[in-house]
């Protein structure tokens, strides 16, 4: 064996999470869990690896999914999950007969896509989904808005807007013009609006969907409607005209927004936005996107919608549902950009320094007393020069240090050093814990 | 496209976690996180996929690791991690120059091994490791015992024993007999003791390590020592005789156990056990295993030890350390076997039934009031017959239900139904929240 060193590196598009990023990431996960649980969503987990045919479905376009796919030791064609929706569909088909409906689950787990890496885009990232399966009731759509709202509040973000649309609204307008079967090319053209502008979209619609100029204009007029709910709906009504489908969508959006307002969501936090479509073929009703008003550039941080049939590939049982997904890593990047992440290297609040290694038991005892007060505290592992130990505390941003040497053990007291304020106090054990609590609650 | 159904199934050796298993699993993870954090261990994460040569190292025996290994889209030879130790070594080599030492990290994440599945053995399972890197101080070994102890207490397990050994103790005896370079075949034979018995182990030792009968007996005599710390050390001392290495190991075990006892660990919870070895080539000092006294058959639920050099494959910086790993899935199985897992399908404590869909806003408002009291509460999504809604609560083991119809809205009060007791109370809003708190705190 040679003594050469293997270069330590991660794969392109993959990354390590160091403590200063992992601590706020876990905090976000915890906040999501708390809100999801409060609303009665239960946690599940599914394997990272699945049969490729399950992940790809029938006629699935593999290149879209950019699967990490391979043949395993048992000659099975397997792949790493690229989202949590397909595994949910498989899971639902397998377990809902036993679990019953409505089934409310959340799932926070990594997914893998071999996409070209870019700034903020990785080949391994966390998804954070919640869904209510087995009901067509708009109560579940409304609850989805409440969960998104409460989640962002819990994270400490107040300046956000949830954008809502309903896929049947455009369908209603198309139905009105006899264009329902041309939905796909029309949506594909509409999707390009921000990039290529109105004139080019109209040109494409005419070419690929054979609509006339007025029809194209009407579609664009609908998609341009956004903002305060009742005003948007008032403007949408004449465009929908007699279409039952469109009228039902308007009624559904009206019910959803009004109920949310009645519950206490403000008009600033909940807008209608008839431009959002979220892909061509999955969502069938309400659609959600959520934007941070201070950081519109990062895109939607929580998106989702209603679907008619979750698991048609895997079961004959029709499973309608509604859900959304928090873009946790995107949100983490946003919080970092806003300077809202405090870069700490540890959750420790107190460093118990070792002055005399023979007193290790005493140092650990006082540290464990501090744990009992619900405060993280660690004993420095070596009786090095106190200055070196305090340097460690500073590097990790541990705000408090405890020092005790011969004199303190004789007098049965402790030195508490406040590293932010620079002051040092001499305290007995009971006062020490009290003082630590006091200092930590004010900083 | 055909309408045939793809059979919904997981891969052999993989499994779904349904809520009733995922809820206690997350609780265990949370308890581990809490204790690790309290002692100043910081969370990190590393990618599921790494370069195969990093995971295999030099001369790594691939068949041992049973890697899920493949060539990715970019023609890289990659594999899914099979443990968290090798990724930690790679991580440490890459980041410790920036993070500094001592570096205390925990890592809770799935790993994958293509082993033959068996009862309780899966191809995807969670590891739950904590390590202190960059110090040779025994304070870190002692802290490892404290963390294991506090973790099991936090989980509610009190009847456990942490077994401790030191690899240098056997080495001392071997040194004494000039057998140090025959450690590997001797340990290999010793490892078979529980399976093949003393006579066969002696025969194997004679054959593979060319020791004489008395030498083999001495080794077995050492390995037979277990139980109360000072008695074991008293019996080990003559076997070690003049070996400095052995004497140092005895002194180290003495210091470790006495300090732990001084801190408050009981003699029942911390035993010496000179039979444990934990593999042949990684650990170099203290070794830990932890057994539940009521369930010895499930094996060690928390194991680890001290190593001289974590990351020698990846860096010239010598990184000694000590750590352990909680066998979380094994523990979960143990708790289930002991009947200590309450099979709940949700964390919801209250079901707000829908009697009148027009009052959805009121139902959601009262549910959100309950959230503010820190209690999980969900609104049933449809205004079905109340009996059907209560059936859902029973199936998910939600203990309380709230009912309000025309009369209640007129009188501004709520019906609270205690599904365990069968009783029903009429309450105003303030009293309702108070009563819910009261009932949930007593059950």
The stretch B326-336 carries a mean pLDDT of: 88
Describe the crossing of helices A167-176 and A183-190 by its angle, rounded to 10 degrees: 120
pTM: 0.94
Please give the pLDDT value at position A1.
43
A14 to chain B, any CB pair closer than 8 A? The answer is yes
| pLDDT score at A263 | 97
Interface check for B380 against chain A (CB to CB < 8 A): the answer is: yes
pLDDT digits (tens, 9 = 90+) for A347-358: 899 999 999 999
Candidate from A11, A58, A346 with C-beta closest to B47? A11
pLDDT band at A59 (very low <50, low <70, confident <90, very high): low
Host H or E run for residue A77: strand A77-80
In which band, very low, low, confident or very high, does the pLDDT at A58 lie, cut at 50, 70 and 90?
Answer: low
Can you tell me the mean pLDDT for A249-273? 97
The verdict on a CB contact (< 8 Å) between B12 and A380 is: no
Q: Which of residues 210-249 of A touch B (CB under 8 A)?
A: none
Phi/psi of residue A437, nearest 5 degrees: -55, -45
Q: Check whether residue B422 and residue B336 sit in a common domain.
A: no
d(CA A171, CA A281): 13
Same domain, yes or no: B73 and B213: no
Statement to judge: residues B52 and B134 lie in one domain: yes
B405 is written with which tokens? 């119809």
pLDDT score at A116: 85
Residue in A43, A50, A375 nearest the CB of B22 = A43
pLDDT reported for residue A63? 61
Region of A371 (left: φ > 0; alpha: ψ -120 to 50; beta: rest) is alpha
Given CB atoms, is A381 within the 8 Å cutoff of chain B?
yes
Interface contact flag, B42 A22, Cβ < 8 Å: yes
Distance from CA of A196 to the nearest CA of B (A): 32
Q: Average pLDDT for residues A148-152, to the nearest whole number?
A: 97
B276 found inside a domain: no
Report if residue B278 sits inside a domain: no
Chain B residues with CB-CB distance to A321 below 8 A: none
CB-nearest to A91 from B4, B16, B142 is B16
A67 neighbors A48 (Cβ within 8 angstroms): no
Which CA distances in Å does B332 have to B28, B152, B329?
8, 12, 5
pLDDT of B277 reads: 80
Predicted confidence (pLDDT) at residue A65 exceeds the cutoff of 80: no
pLDDT higher than threshold 60 for residue A368: yes
Residue A148 lies in a domain: yes
Please report the pLDDT score of residue B227 as a whole number.
97
Question: Is the Cβ–Cβ distance between B81 and B69 less than 8 Å?
Answer: no
| Position with higher pLDDT, B342 vs A420 | A420
Arithmetic mean of pLDDT, A369-398: 96
Residue B124 lies in a domain: yes
pLDDT at B116: 85
Q: How high does pLDDT run on average in chain B?
A: 93
A120 and A200 fall within a common domain? no
- The mean pLDDT of chain A is 93
Most confident listed range (A36-50, A60-74, A344-358):
A36-50
Helix (H) or strand (E) holding A378, with range, is strand A377-379
Are B86 and B167 in a shared domain? no
Distance in Å, alpha carbon of A217 to nearest chain B alpha carbon: 35
pLDDT tens digits, A186-208: 988 988 888 899 999 999 999 99
Output the domain CATH number for residue B152.
3.30.930.10
Mean pLDDT of the region A314-325: 96
Do both A318 and A409 map to the same domain? no
CA separation for the pair B182, A63 (Å, rounded): 55
Same domain, A66 and A174: no
For residue A339, the SS3 value is coil
Mean pLDDT value across residues A286-308: 93
CATH (domain of B354): 3.40.50.800
B181-233 pLDDT, tens digit each: 998 899 889 888 888 999 999 999 999 999 999 999 999 999 999 999 999 99
Verify that B88 and B177 share a domain, yes or no. Answer: no
How far apart CA A31 and CA A302 sit, in angstroms, is 14
Structurally, chain B folds into a number of domains equal to: 3
Mean pLDDT of B117-133: 91
The reply to whether A287 falls in a domain is: no
pLDDT at residue A60 tops 80: no
pLDDT digits (tens, 9 = 90+) for B143-157: 999 999 999 999 999
Of A22, A351, A368, the CB nearest to B43: A22
- A105 vs A281, residue with greater confidence: A105
DSSP A17: B
Based on the domain organization, do A359 and A237 belong to the same domain?
Answer: no
> Residue A416 belongs to what H/E stretch?
strand A414-418
CA dihedral B79, B83, B86, B89 (to 10 degrees): 130
**pLDDT band at B1; cut points 50, 70, 90:** very low
Tell me what percent of the residues of chain B surpass a pLDDT of 90: 82
B19, B44, B364: residue with CB nearest A16 = B44
Least confident among A143-157, A259-273, B106-120, B249-263: B106-120
Give pLDDT tens digits for B63-105.
666 899 999 989 999 999 999 999 999 999 999 999 999 999 9
Residue of B nearest to A132 (CA): B381
At which of A231, A248, A280 does a domain end? A280
Q: Among A75-84, A381-390, B27-36, B63-72, whose mean pLDDT is lowest?
A: B63-72
With CB atoms and an 8 Å threshold, state whether A12 touches B392: no
This model of the complex carries an ipTM of 0.94
Q: Which domain holds residue B183?
A: 163-269
Q: Record the tokens describing residue B314, joined without a space.
A: 């990846």
pLDDT tens digits for B33-47? 999 999 999 999 999
Domain identity same for B62 and B145 = yes
Residue A374 lies in a domain: yes
Same domain, A213 and A142: no
Whether residue A214 sits in one domain with residue A322: no
Q: Around Cβ A39, how many Cβ atoms within 10 Å?
A: 26
Residues 340-359, chain A, touching B (beta carbon < 8 A): 345-348, 351, 354, 357
- Over residues B282-298, mean pLDDT: 91
Is B117 in the A-facing interface, judged by CB distances under 8 Å?
no
Q: Is the pLDDT of residue A44 over 60?
A: yes
Interchain proximity B150–A263, CB inside 8 Å? no
Is B49 part of a structural domain of the chain? yes
Cα–chain-centroid distance for residue A17?
17
What 3-state class would DSSP assign to A400?
strand
Question: Contact A348/B146, CB-based, under 8 Å?
Answer: no
Whether B180 is in a domain gets the answer yes
């Amino acid at each position: 064996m040679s003594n050469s060193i293997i270069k330590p590196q991660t794969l392109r598009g993959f990354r390590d999470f160091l403590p200063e990023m992992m601590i706020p990431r876990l905090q976000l996960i915890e906040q999501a869990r708390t809100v999801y649980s409060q609303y009665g969503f239960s946690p599940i987990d599914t394997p990272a690896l699945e049969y490729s045919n399950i992940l790809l479905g029938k006629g699935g376009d593999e290149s879209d999914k950019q699967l990490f796919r391979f043949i395993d030791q048992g000659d099975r064609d397997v792949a790493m999950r690229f989202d949590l929706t397909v595994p949910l569909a498989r899971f639902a088909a397998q377990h809902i007969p036993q679990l019953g409906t409505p089934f409310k689950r959340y799932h926070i787990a990594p997914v893998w896509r071999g996409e070209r890496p870019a700034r903020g885009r990785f080949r391994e990232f966390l998804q954070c989904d919640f869904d209510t399966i087995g009901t067509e009731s708009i109560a579940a759509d409304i609850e989805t808005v409440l969960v998104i709202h409460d989640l962002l509040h819990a994270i400490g973000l107040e300046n956000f807007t949830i954008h809502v649309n309903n896929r049947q609204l455009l369908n209603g307008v198309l139905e009105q013009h006899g264009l329902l079967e041309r939905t796909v090319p029309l949506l594909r053209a509409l999707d390009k609006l921000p990039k290529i502008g109105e004139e080019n979209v109209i040109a494409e619609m005419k070419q690929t969907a054979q609509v006339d100029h007025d029809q194209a204009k009407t579609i664009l007029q609908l998609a341009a409607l956004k903002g305060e709910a009742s005003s948007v709906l008032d403007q949408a009504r004449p465009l929908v005209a007699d279409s039952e489908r469109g009228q039902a969508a308007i009624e559904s959006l009206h019910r959803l927004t009004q109920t949310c307002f009645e519950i206490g969501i403000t008009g600033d936090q909940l807008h209608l936005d008839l431009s959002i479509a979220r892909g061509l073929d999955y969502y069938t009703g309400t659609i959600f996107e959520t934007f941070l008003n201070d950081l519109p550039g990062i895109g939607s941080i929580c998106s989702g919608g209603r679907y008619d049939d979750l698991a048609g590939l895997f079961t004959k049982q029709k499973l309608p549902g509604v859900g959304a997904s928090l873009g946790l890593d995107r949100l983490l990047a946003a919080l970092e950009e806003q300077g809202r992440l405090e870069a700490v290297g540890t959750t420790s609040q107190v460093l118990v320094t070792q002055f005399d290694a023979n007193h290790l038991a005493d140092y650990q005892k006082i540290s464990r007393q501090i744990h009992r007060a619900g405060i993280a505290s660690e004993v420095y592992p070596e009786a090095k020069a106190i200055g070196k130990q305090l340097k460690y505390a500073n590097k990790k941003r541990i705000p408090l240090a405890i020092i005790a040497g011969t004199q303190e053990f004789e007098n049965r007291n402790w030195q508490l050093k406040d590293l932010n304020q620079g002051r040092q106090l001499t305290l007995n054990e009971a006062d020490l814990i009290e003082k630590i609590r006091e200092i930590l609650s004010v900083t």
